[in-house]
Chain A
Amino acid sequence: MNTVTVSGIVPEPIARQPWEMLIPLFALVGFGAAVLYSAAGGAMVPFATSHLLRFGAFMIMAMIITAFPRDLVRMLTYPAYIIVLLMLIAVEAMGALRGGSQRWLDLGFMVLQPSELMKPTIVVTLAMFYYSLPVGMTNTWRALLIPGALVAMPMGLVLLQPDLGTALAIGFGGAMVMLLAGLPLRWFIAGGAAGMVIAPLAFFYGLKEYQQRRVLTMFDPEADPLGAGYHITQSKIAIGSGGIFGKGFNEGSQSHLNYLPEPHTDFVFATMAEEWGFAGGLFVLAAFAIILRWGWKVAQDSDDRFASLLAAGMVVTIFFYVAVNLLMVMGMAPVVGIPLPWMSHGGSSMLTNMICIGVLMMVNRWNQNAPRRGLAG
């Protein structure tokens, strides 16, 4: 809102945009493109160009989302959830038919990963549910049971793929919206305690062997430097060898000589850190901090329960990506295939994150159009 102060020079439709978020976002994407340029061995193709093009395309999509009116969104929420859920089932069915697990739906004109779509969708759906739930029932079992089912169904389907990372992301997004919706805190504490008990059981009976190894590796990556620990070890070497200002643009030996696995997707941060050092890392962290902080502000500025839950849920979803990815590349979380928003090369994660940004901008627009909150707030 303070952006309006420069209205004298800049035309109103442009000045109205949330530049305090967009400028760090563009910077982040541009920086990501530079890193991808280096990861391709100093070339725009195959990563950097498509990264920028995708961002451009999804930015337009985000603008369109921004323009959605509140009622339309509310009306579309449940149908959207059902459609995405059906797509997840379709993926499972296709996988079963073709014999082998699969995560994608080939729609002919594009390859879609429905589990990615489910991440923002679950947030909207739960926001809608708690919006429509009578206030008085927030602390009753109904407030937990139905959303629980809404979260559990897609999570189960995604786990079957099997894609632990995405399943956790969906669960995390759902849980955060429930928390923000005002469900009794002791449920979460009890849930957390139950999780502590179930986690070891799930680890030994629920995870595939390669996933177990990845978790174990996190605690001692050097134990198996050529096997499961290889990714983490090499990533830490890349980050650590960068020093304060890095080895210089296009000078990263870890990424250029292929020691770093997936230097353009999951480990893009390590690629960046090797060449730009601690300074580059702080820049990325700061950009994410500004974007997420803006997101929280949008959520808090809204006095519509649906909108604020929606916005907060989106912030949390983006945060989950950032946090898990960075913890992973720095050797503090197991290797789960979660990319870094706006820097990793990859269409699906860009799509998800741009939906989140679009929704946040949409809520931001609603806030701007709505009358300021009363003194009561």
Chain B
Amino acid sequence: MKSFLSGGKRPRRPARILNASILRSSFERRAVLIGTVQGGIGVLLAARMGYLAIAENEKYRLESESNRVNLTLIPPRRGWILDRNGAPLASNRADFRVDIIPERLADPEGTIDRLGELLGLAATRIADIKDKVAQSRGFQPVEVASGLEYEQFAALSVRLPDLQGVVPQRGFSRFYPTASSVGHLIGYVGPASAEEFEKDPNPLLITPGYKIGKDGLEKQFEKELRGIPGARRVEVTARGRIVRDLETREDIQGAPVRLSIDGPLQDYAARRIGLESGSVVVMDCLTGDLLCMASMPSFDPNSFSDGIGSVEYAMLRDDERVPLRNKVLKGLYPPGSTVKPMVSMALMQQGVDPEETVYCGGGLRVGNRVFGCWNRRGHGAVNMAKGIYQSCDVYFYAMAQRVGMDPIAAMARRCGMGQEFPLPVTSQFYGTVPDPAWKMNKWGREWQTFDTVNATIGQGYMLSSPLQLAVMASRLATGRHVMPRLTLDTKPKGFDTIDFPADQVEYVRQAMSDVVNGPGTAGRARLPIDGVQIAGKTGTAQVVSLSISNGKTGPWKYRDHGLFIFFAPYDNPRYAGAVVIEHGGGSGAAYPIARDVTTFLFDPAKGLEALAALEKQWGGTAQQRLETRYAAYAAERGAEVRRPPRRDEEIFDRVEAEARVAAEQSEAIADDAIAPRPEANPSGTPPVSPPSELPDAPAQSPAPPAPEPAATAAPAAASAPLSEGGVAE
């Protein structure tokens, strides 16, 4: 090196003069230097290349393969949810669908507008998608549309190179044939949320088009229904275009879940509820099978599975009949007089002779207070059977004073009130069975006489869900500790536990039969079927004090709840159940539904005939009405709706919180005796249009334009005053 430097150092000494040969030798030396450096760089390059291609070959070969080969998960087809006869309540439909992956979108707004144009999406839908894309984590796919026509799908596929981040594919989407009838029961599916993915970081969860159960049974049986994903290895270009298939492994469909539900019955009951807000539960008395758990109005789970649209959510949320609440499990109501058969069992257990009579003169004096019977004119001499079929309050006031609250509360619990059942549901409310200890604990106050009075007629603090009422009906009917079951693979339980002696069961059955078939409060509930008689008990539950509303007219939310528990045939019970109509104005809103549902159980054709006539008046089936309402709502309010909560869980929490608040409504009037309402008031007017009965039923339709011809057959009831007693009992 020293010698190369010499060329530079020499000029420092002024004595040396440059000449051509010095420059020449400098050139030669420096040329050699540069050439050497170049050679060195050449060797370096060769070494580097050798290192990359030989030493690290394995690593880069793998990376090149992982570039070239794309492994796509094939979402497994979800297991079906079947009814007891193997008919699908939730199945899968092959369809064409389009998702977008937000983090791969170059121009989200533009791409979504473009897609909307190609697929002909509504403006509200496009706004929803934009909203979701803006809020989602980048890796979570957002569904744009499913159930596309092949032509739309093809039109989109050819434009893919310009639409980065758009994933069209053939797949399966969840399909609920009976739509809103099973909404609350089955729940719905939807793409996994970011939280769910964090909890279970399975790449399947963020595969476009893959959905998990979000609510109801879909959520509860997620593990069984999920299945095992397939995989497809394809060769892809850097831009994601598929060059060819390399290998495919098929998915394995999830296992089916077989429910005890009877699909047609569920659908029938849901439709029969009609314009009312309420629920119908039917159980099989021989197995405890839940045959029907209908809660209406409801939502369409088919339309929820691509995300809950803001317009749809706003419509459901603004509805005072809370279509998002599963009323079978989360509706809590004062059971009203439906508890009387249960109270009778408690009395007999305490040694009360059923034939012993109490004189009802319209009220019962205890100390210096008089507690009124619903029938102010009095029932005269009342034994236990009459107490049930005439629903005489005084009889029960008197007997309950004798035995005290505790045996009654214990019996209520034994019959299922205040209990949770081992069912595969996401949550169930257990209600309240009040007793002195409970009141002290909760309110810090002594138990009063009027508390017993209230409790024996199913008012005051007492709250139960329709499911509990149905279980109570089946236990009363069979005398066994029937446990409800929802899936056919669980064992029937409770049949070896005898709750009540046979003679007592016999007695109550007869009394409950007389409610309908005898001189009771629900004569119009008689089945139009020869040889099958239904037994039941009416209940009318007051929710606000008399000073606010008479319970029959006025604002919907102040009207009385209508309840009915039943079983049939009365002498050899096969089916038992409960119908609860929120703010139906009295039990008259409930038992016609129970009658039709039971008719359907024994003679489907006859049941459907009755329903068809009603649905003509109501304007279509429940699903059709929901769709019409949605269209009207979207047209009217579509532009100004609020956004739905980002997470479905927030919706659930809100619905549940509101359900709890709603259940407390009747507590406000529990701190004094409740003046009981007339039972079984057939003229109680349902809110939107009158209850239209079967032609053979004595009915009266006050307001609306098209009264049935048969309505003229209405007897004295038509002219009876709405407020008090003299109504058909």
Contacts and interface: CB of A to CB of B under 8 A. Distances in A.
Interface of A: 135-136, 138-139, 176, 179-182, 184-189, 234, 236-244, 253-254, 257-259, 273-274, 277-278, 281-282, 285, 288-289, 292-293, 296, 299-300, 303, 305, 308-309, 312, 316, 319, 323, 326-327, 330, 332, 376-377
A238 B237 CA distance: 14
B7 A182 contact: yes
A182 B53 contact: no
B64 interface: yes
Contacts of B42: 285, 288-289
B527 to A, nearest CB: 71
B11 interface: yes
A300 B31 contact: yes
Contacts of B50: 278
Top 5 A-B pairs, shortest CB-CB distance:
A240-B60, A185-B8, A241-B64, A139-B11, A258-B238
Interface string B223-239: 00000000000011111
B19 interface: yes
Contact of A186 (B9, B22, B53): B9
Interface in B1-54: 4-5, 7-9, 11, 17-24, 26-28, 30-31, 34-35, 38-39, 41-42, 45-46, 48-50, 52-54
A243 B45 contact: no
Contacts of B63: 237, 240-241
B574 interface: no
A257 B11 contact: no
Given A259-B64, A281-B53, 20 more contacts: A135-B19, A180-B27, A181-B27, A182-B27, A184-B8, A185-B4, A185-B5, A236-B60, A237-B64, A238-B60, A239-B53, A240-B52, A241-B61, A244-B54, A257-B67, A259-B237, A285-B42, A293-B35, A305-B27, A312-B31
Interface string B46-80: 10111011101101110110011000000000000
B243 interface: yes
B306 to A, nearest CB: 30
B45 A180 contact: no
A237 B67 contact: yes
Contacts of A176: 34
B63 to A, nearest CB: 5
Contacts of A326: 45
Contacts of A181: 23, 27
B59 A240 contact: yes
Please indicate which of the listed interface residues A184, A234, A296, A327 has the most CB atoms of chain B within 10 Å of its own CB: A184
What does DSSP make chain A's interface, helix, strand, loop or mixed?
helix
Contacts of A293: 35
Contacts of B59: 240
A47 B31 CA distance: 36
B194 to A, nearest CB: 22
A180 B38 CA distance: 15
Given A258-B238, A300-B28, A323-B38, A243 B9 contact: no
B678 to A, nearest CB: 75
Q: Is the interface of B mostly helix, strand, loop or mixed?
A: helix
A234 B238 CA distance: 11
Interface in B258-300: none
Contact of A330 (B24, B45, B68, B238): B45
Contact of B48 (A289, A296, A316, A332): A332
B291 to A, nearest CB: 57
Contacts of A323: 38, 41, 45
A376 to B, nearest CB: 7
A227 to B, nearest CB: 14
A299 B31 contact: yes
Contacts of B21: 376
23 contacts: A135-B19, A135-B23, A139-B11, A182-B22, A182-B23, A185-B5, A187-B8, A189-B8, A239-B49, A239-B53, A241-B60, A242-B57, A243-B54, A254-B67, A257-B68, A257-B236, A259-B67, A285-B45, A303-B24, A305-B20, A305-B23, A305-B24, A330-B45
Given A241-B57, A292-B38, A330 B52 contact: yes
A243 B61 contact: yes
Indicate the member of B42, B53, B236 with the most A CB atoms within 10 Å.
B53
A281 B31 contact: no
Contacts of A253: 64, 67-68, 235
A190 to B, nearest CB: 10
A279 to B, nearest CB: 9
Given A185-B4, A258-B239, A332-B48, A244 B26 contact: no
A274 B49 CA distance: 11
B53 A240 contact: yes
Nearest to A254: B64
A267 to B, nearest CB: 13
Interface residues of B, number: 48
Contact of A180 (B17, B18, B30, B238): B30
A330 B23 contact: no
Given A305-B23, A330-B45, A180 B54 contact: no
Contacts of B243: 257
A319 B235 CA distance: 39
Contacts of A242: 53, 57
Contacts of A258: 237-239
A87 B49 CA distance: 39
A39 B283 CA distance: 72
Interface string B622-654: 000000000000000000000000000000000
A257 B18 contact: no
A343 to B, nearest CB: 14
Contacts of A236: 52, 60
Contacts of A257: 67-68, 235-238, 243
B519 to A, nearest CB: 83
Given A185-B4, A236-B52, A239-B52, A296 B35 contact: yes
A138 to B, nearest CB: 5
A135 B18 CA distance: 6
Contact of A285 (B19, B35, B46): B46
Nearest to B63: A237
Contacts of B239: 258
A242 B61 CA distance: 7
Contacts of A180: 27, 30-31, 34
A281 B27 contact: no
A332 B45 CA distance: 9
Given A237-B67, A273-B53, A138 B45 contact: no
A367 to B, nearest CB: 15
Contact of B64 (A136, A138, A238, A300): A238
Among A241, A254, A300, A303: residue with most chain B CB under 10 A? A241
A92 B38 CA distance: 34
B60 A237 contact: yes
Given A135-B18, A135-B20, A258-B239, A330 B48 contact: yes
B7 A273 contact: no
B661 to A, nearest CB: 50
A288 B35 CA distance: 13
Nearest to A281: B49
B41 to A, nearest CB: 5
Contacts of A300: 28, 31
Contacts of A136: 17-18
A247 to B, nearest CB: 9
Contact of B34 (A281, A308, A316): A316
A41 B21 CA distance: 56
B4 A240 contact: no
Given A184-B11, A240-B60, A139 B18 contact: yes
A139 B237 CA distance: 59
B7 to A, nearest CB: 6
Nearest to B235: A257
A298 to B, nearest CB: 11
Contacts of B46: 281-282, 285
Nearest to A296: B35
Nearest to A252: B64
